[in-house]
Amino acid sequence: MNRPLRRALSQSIVMLLLLAACSGGKPESAGKAAAVPDVPAYGDAVVEGSIGDISGFLSAVTSDAASHEAAGYVFNGLVRYDKDLKLEGVLARSWEVSPDGKKITFHLRRDVKWQDGAPFTSSDVMFTFQRMIDPKTPTAYGDAFKQVKRASAPDPFTFVAEYARPFAPALESWGMDILPKHLLEKYPDISKSPLNKKPVGTGPYRFVEWKTGEKVVFDANPDYFEGKPYIARVITRIIPDQATMFLELLSGGVDTMDLTPPQFARQTDTAEFGKSFNKYKYTAAAFTYLGFRLSHPFFKDKRVRQAIAYAADKKALVDGVLLGLGQEATGPYKPGTWAYNPNVRKYPHDPLHAKALLAEAGWKEKDGVLVKDGRPFEFTVLTNAGNEARAKTAAILQQNLAEVGIRMQIRTVEWAAFINQFIDKRDFEAVILGWTISPDPDQYVIWHSSMTGPKELNFVGFANSEVDKLLEDGRSTFDLEKRKKAYFRIQEILAEEQPYVFLYVPDALPVVQNRIHGIRPAVAGITYNFIKWYVPKALQKYRLEP
């Protein structure tokens, strides 16, 4: 149920922007429910729409968001992100980090049972750890666990992980779903075990059935250690088309989904819709940017990048692409979270200033186009095909840049080709892409100058010795204040250097049928307290056999 963490784990969808993790907001339309006593009651079902089918329940081996969310109903990690995106214990009652930062000791809850009745102990944690580093496990998340020098379980309710050096993001990695040793140990490859299709976990819901391509059903776990969830059944319907899903919502076929900006702003803007649904709006954990290949002769010069930042009309982007449902980005962190620095250099839309900077960098206007050393300022921006928001972004930027005498061509490329032929081979001039923002602010792999090798993620080739140092400092201490200082400074440098022009942060736009009560929006979105959602007895729609 811990969406932010699951998002962080399912980084393979990092650029798809199909997000729901969000921050502070309120229902858009306070639905006028009839006069019924608003007291929590057990029962009823919630039907969710999901664009993609799941590919398995063991999140160690899956990498898509739908699978990770499904796993979240059945499994727990030792830790999770709370409503304010701070780490809290789940299966771990508490934890302490040794003064040198190299040893994390987890104290486990003693009242947890697997859904088949077996007790949960530290041997399950040890087993999960061993499988994460086992080459027979096809996981993309093993690296954080390989940093562990020594793991031990001194007693059934204590687990200790020792690291060679202090590594702050390590804590987050223990949010990985803990697997039942007694059910899995006889399978050398957990992805081929029956549990990947019929999971047994410690979580708030028990698995009932999975009809491939159709639906996944869960029932409330009455023995859940944080209390039995009110909603008796969760049904995830797989509806691959966004428009169809919206019609299902209108006809009562699904209770909750994520809306697109046009659906949110226009298609649901009726009194009729407001009678049955509550819309929510939060800052999504993602941003879209224009990235440069920094070794390119045009973009080597910081002034040129800054000029493009001034030329880009970010407000027009938010209004045009997101219909106002988002905000201008100033850096790679989510506004409102502890690592976000609001006081960095900003680049308001100012074509004159942009022109002045370009002139300073030696670009002279000739017939409406800038020229330097006989070469016109012309380049191609790449983005992935099929992403409407990015295509619109490119079109608006094209116009913005034309105003200051820069000719930008737009080319869209199929996703796999885009990554493999252009990004991986560094064969691009500029790109429009996005990142999801993981709750832990460690962005070493994106900005550190050592991460520019093949397939590595600093593909723009950013190299700044101060940022390198700060990134190293930020990940090697558990002290929040020290980390905050490092990441604040990094944001200042990035804002000054503009290796990316940070464009916008979209809003996540979930909608929920208004018979469902108990939703308390927070920085983390709305689903963090799903087990406390309820439908008052009189409003219950689905009658379920107990």
Partner 1 sequence: MLRYVVRRLMWAVPILVGISLISFLMIHMAPGGPISVGTDLNPKATAETRARLEAYYGLDQPIHVQYWRWLSRMARLDFGASFSPDGRPVAEKIRERIPITLTINVLSMGLIFLVAIPLGVYSAVRKGSLFDRISTVTVFTGFSIPTFWLALLLMILFGVKLRWLPISGIASLDYGSLGAMGKLADRARHLLLPVLLAGFTGLAGMSRYMRSNMLEVIRQDYIASARAKGLPERKVVFRHAMRNAVLPVITILGLSVPDLLGGSVIFETIFSIPGMGQLFYQGVMSRDYPLIMGILTIGAFLTLIGNLLADVGYALADPRIRPE
* Token pair belonging to 63: 């990498």
Give the interface segment with partner 1, choosing from 19-27, 142-150, 258-266, 319-327 (CB under 8 A).
Answer: 142-150
Q: Which of 29, 196, 221, 341 binds partner 1 (CB under 8 A)?
A: 196
| 38 binds partner 1 per the rule CB under 8 A | no
- Least Å from the CB of residue 473 to partner 1: 19
Give the interface segment with partner 1, choosing from 17-25, 237-245, 328-336, 530-538 (CB under 8 A).
Answer: 237-245
Specify the 3-state DSSP secondary structure of 386. coil
Nearest to 15 by CA among 422, 389, 526, 449: 389
314 Cβ neighbours under 8 A, 6+ residues apart: 328, 329, 347, 349, 503, 504
| 388 binds partner 1 per the rule CB under 8 A | no
| 257 binds partner 1 per the rule CB under 8 A | no
Nearest to 221 by CA among 323, 120, 92, 94: 120
181 Cβ neighbours under 8 A, 6+ residues apart: 123, 124, 126, 127, 128
- Least Å from the CB of residue 482 to partner 1: 22
Q: How many residues does the chain have?
A: 546
**Angle at CA 283, nearest 5°, toward 281 and 285?**
130
Burial of 91 (0-12, 13-18, 19+ CB in 10 A): buried
Nearest to 255 by CA among 286, 232, 278, 272: 278
Distance CA 285, CA 282 (A): 9
Q: In terms of CB distance, is 196 or 400 closer to partner 1?
A: 196
Nearest to 72 by CA among 7, 139, 2: 2
x-or-dash string of contact with partner 1, 158-187, rule CB under 8 A: ------------------------------
Amino acid at 61: V
Q: Which of 5, 9, 322, 519 binds partner 1 (CB under 8 A)?
A: 9
Q: Which of 90, 239, 509, 535 binds partner 1 (CB under 8 A)?
A: 239
Give the interface segment with partner 1, choosing from 219-227, 250-258, 512-520, 522-530 (CB under 8 A).
Answer: 250-258
Q: In terms of CB distance, is 110 or 425 closer to partner 1?
A: 425
- Least Å from the CB of residue 131 to partner 1: 13
| 270 binds partner 1 per the rule CB under 8 A | no
- Least Å from the CB of residue 94 to partner 1: 26
Nearest to 46 by CA among 234, 208, 193: 234
* Token pair belonging to 133: 């580093």
Distance CA 465, CA 48 (A): 47
Q: Which of 44, 48, 53, 82 binds partner 1 (CB under 8 A)?
A: 53
| 381 binds partner 1 per the rule CB under 8 A | no
Q: In terms of CB distance, is 457 or 524 closer to partner 1?
A: 457
| 465 binds partner 1 per the rule CB under 8 A | no
| 222 binds partner 1 per the rule CB under 8 A | no
| 238 binds partner 1 per the rule CB under 8 A | yes
Q: In terms of CB distance, is 387 or 443 closer to partner 1?
A: 443
* Token pair belonging to 350: 């100012």
| 458 binds partner 1 per the rule CB under 8 A | no
Distance CA 473, CA 495 (A): 20
Nearest to 457 by CA among 291, 285, 284: 291
Beta strands in 418-497 (DSSP E): 430-436
x-or-dash string of contact with partner 1, 319-338, rule CB under 8 A: --------------------
Q: Which residues bind partner 1 (CB under 8 A)?
A: 9, 11-12, 14-15, 45, 47, 53, 55-56, 58, 61-64, 67, 135-136, 138-144, 146, 189, 191-192, 196-197, 211-215, 235, 237-241, 243-244, 247-248, 250-251, 253, 414-417, 419-421, 423, 438, 443, 445-446, 453, 455, 457, 542
